[in-house]
Amino acid sequence: MKFLVTGSAGFIGFHLAKRLLADGHTVVGVDGLTTYYSTALKRRRHAMLEESERFTPIVGVIEDASLVELAGWLGEPDVIIHLAAQPGVRYGLENPRAYIDANVIGSWNILELARALKPKHLLMASTSAIYGANQSIPFSESDQADEPISLYAATKKSMEAIAHAYSHLHQLPLTAMRFFTVYGPWGRPDMAPTKFVERILAGRPIEVYGMGKMKRDFTYVDDIVETIVRLVDVIPGSAGPVIAPKVHDTLSPVAPYRVVNIGRGEPIGLMQFVSTIERCLGKKAERIMLPMQSGDMTVTFADTSLAEALTGYAPSTPLDVGIGRFVDWYRKEGAVQEAESGDEAGVQAAEAAEEPKAS
């Protein structure tokens, strides 16, 4: 099949595009290579994808409607997977416009493209941050989730609402995927695993927010990709709702539209997460305990029953296995990428990563 993947130089987009190419598909990848974090990692990801003749990169932001239109007509996709976004919770306090531009206007451009091209399925990345102040645990797709506590979450919820309207008005088969705390090799440098590993290797203290009492539903990136790949052929509207014990299908009664959680379904305490990294590195961390930051959620916990019923797959990578793979990657590649960005801490981490691993 032919795929259009936005955010193809991003963390999840890179892994997904790599999987699709390995499965024999053709991929047009769109990415703005924005400077939210160093572009060295993004360029390396795209370069790896370009080793396949079935991958076509298009560099540009999805806020540019003409570029999105060009990518669509060039790729003639059977399926569009929209992963491009302005990520991060705290950055919304510094640059709110970036979230409106990418997550609302950019996503609307993708919807307009899908309206014109009529792919068999459009899958759009959303986030567990949408659940915000929701008190119901675990988070179910049927929860109201109308109290976002970050601009990032608010723009993603806006995207979901607009997407449902487009799905209804234009009979566009659409799945909104709410990801839960994705981690793994080639992860972003602003994410906790990279920050913690880089600082511990460099002998610098790590900052632990929420006094270490937060919990996250850490989900390994390969599990996310496997679920996405399986959802491609689960087209909303092609069949009736799932009828199974303890499963509430979010298939809309008025549109070929569905919302699906994709997570591990097992929240892990932040201090357990740090301890796992320490074991994999063979090195203890100096910890600075700090209060919660604005926009952070205390707990994320996915009800994964719908995703499992739809795909027959349950994310299962244990935390120690996933973190072990991330640490191995960082020692071989990640710290070098940080050093190439010219970041002083990255250079220190690159040097530390060359040291023999403690037993």
Which sequence spans correspond to the domains of the chain?
A: 2-180+220-262, 192-215+266-301+316-353
Check if 2-180+220-262 and 192-215+266-301+316-353 are the same fold.
no
pLDDT of the residue at 244: 87
| 220 is known as an active-site residue | no
Residues of the chain predicted below pLDDT 50: 342-359
Surface-to-core class of residue 27, CB atoms within 10 Å of its CB (0-12 exposed, 13-18 middle, 19+ buried)? buried
The C-alpha atoms of residue 303 and residue 351 are separated, in whole angstroms, by 41
pLDDT of the residue at 356: 32
* Cα angle: 108, vertex 104, 114; to 5 degrees: 20
pLDDT of the residue at 336: 54
pLDDT of the residue at 337: 57
* Contact call for residues 105 and 63 (beta carbons, < 8 A): yes
pLDDT of the residue at 299: 87
The C-alpha atoms of residue 266 and residue 300 are separated, in whole angstroms, by 9
pLDDT of the residue at 43: 94
pLDDT of the residue at 2: 98
DSSP class per residue in 244-283: -TT------SSSSEEEEEES-S--EEHHHHHHHHHHHHT-
pLDDT of the residue at 353: 40
pLDDT digits (tens, 9 = 90+) for 48-100: 999 999 999 999 999 999 999 999 999 999 999 999 999 887 788 899 999 99
pLDDT of the residue at 293: 78
From the candidates 36, 152, 220, 330, which is the catalytic residue?
Answer: 152
Phi first, then psi, for residue 47 (nearest 5°) are -60, -40
Domain 2-180+220-262 bears CATH identifier 2.60.120.10: no
Which of the listed CATH numbers 3.10.150.10, 3.90.25.10, 3.40.33.10, 3.40.50.720 matches domain 192-215+266-301+316-353? 3.90.25.10
pLDDT of the residue at 136: 85
pLDDT of the residue at 93: 84
